[in-house]
Amino acid sequence: MADLAQGIPSALTEGLGVRSARPVAGGDIARSFRLETDSGPLFLKTGDHPPELFLSEARGLEALREHAPAELRVPEVVRGTGEGIVLEWIPEGSHPSEEPRLSARETEEELGRGLAKLHRASNSQFGGIDGARTGYLGAVETDLTPARTWPEFLFERRLRPLTRQAVDSGAMPSEALGLLDAVERRAEEICGPEEKPALVHGDLWVGNRMVDGSGRSWLIDPAAFWGHREADLAMMQLFGGFGDAAFEAYEAENPPADGWRERIRWNQLTPLLVHAILFGGGYGNQALAVLREYA
């Protein structure tokens, strides 16, 4: 086997017929490589993180791949350990001649339709996949302990611990904790009509959707769990990058509850808190503004 060095754990590549590895873009919190193997290229990601981070990503990818409809693609997990993950290589630049190339609008429509179908996958409780009680959103640990209702899961597993962490880190003032108490009294109203838990990507910003040479969408880097589907729809609009056709196709295939667009800002609070913890700055101010708006 080639001498890979570059900090790649040997357990991730052993037996894969790897000839070489070169660094590639592929995440802000990890080191990523393209592996050239006897069977074709693979993608490898590794880094100095708690073992559960990579295991959680692998678990999420496998769940998404199991439930994804024909309109969505999810890379196969070739190997996943506490040290990193090896995935099927996504052919961004090539276009297989036997498959028609989608137009930009068709790509967005197919994504929206596929996500709407994916969200039909359901579970008896909100929480982690396969009983997992710990997950990660970016590099921030999250509590995936099961809960019967979405408001319970959202406030007790996400908003309360993340707000406390943001306050303790200095990213938000202590006022945020009092505002959260006030908001929680309106939890059922703010969270919208009750829905069954849906399989959600959990971190669906535009950087975690790749489009291959034929215009098909691939979902990568999930923070997947059994949650509320509006969390994905809100995250898609936090940083932009998804076309209107995606949301139109989603609504046509699996309409969200009335008022979902009015709840977008509310459902962006969790990722704003995570960004405040990781990056501080304006994200803490944005999260505080959301709490003030709903308190």
The residue count for the chain: 295
- Residue-level pLDDT at 5: 57
- pLDDT reported for residue 260: 97
- Look up the pTM and report it: 0.95
Q: Active-site residue 203, yes or no? A: yes
Q: Which residues contact 247 (CB under 8 A, 6 or more apart)?
A: 112, 233, 236
- Sole residue written with tokens 């590099």: 139
What is the pLDDT tens value at each position of the chain, 295 positions in all? 444 657 799 999 999 999 999 999 866 678 999 999 999 999 999 998 899 999 999 999 999 999 999 999 999 999 999 999 999 999 876 665 567 899 999 999 999 999 999 999 999 999 999 999 999 999 999 999 999 999 999 999 999 999 999 999 999 999 999 999 999 999 999 999 999 999 999 999 999 999 999 999 999 999 999 999 999 999 999 999 999 999 999 999 999 999 999 999 999 999 999 999 999 879 999 999 999 999 9
Alpha-carbon span 278 to 250, nearest angstrom: 31
Q: Which of 203, 212, 221, 232 is catalytic?
A: 203
> Do 33 and 23 contact (CB within 8 A), yes or no?
yes
CA distance linking residue 148 with residue 136, whole number of Å: 21
Sheet of 72-73, strands arranged across: 72-73, 217-219, 209-211
The CB density around residue 254, as the number of other CB atoms within 10 Å, is 17
Encoded tokens for 141: 């640990």
Helix, strand, coil percentages in the chain from 3-state DSSP, rounded to 5: 40, 20, 40
pLDDT of amino acid 28: 65
Separation between Cα atoms, residue 135 and residue 76, nearest integer Å: 20
Q: How many CB atoms lie within 10 A of CB 43?
A: 19
Identity of residue 259: G
Beta-strand runs (E) in the chain: 18-24, 31-37, 40-46, 72-73, 77-81, 84-88, 134-137, 140-143, 198-200, 209-211, 217-219, 225-227
- Whether 88 and 220 have beta carbons less than 8 Å apart is answered as no
**Residue 25 is encoded by which pair of tokens?**
């873009």
Q: How far apart are CA 42 and CA 87, in angstroms?
A: 6
Residue carrying structure tokens 């838990």: 197
Question: 201, 222 in Cβ contact below 8 A?
Answer: yes
What local confidence, expressed as pLDDT, does residue 1 receive? 42
- Structural domains in the chain, CATH included, are 10-88 (3.30.200.20), 104-294 (3.90.1200.10)
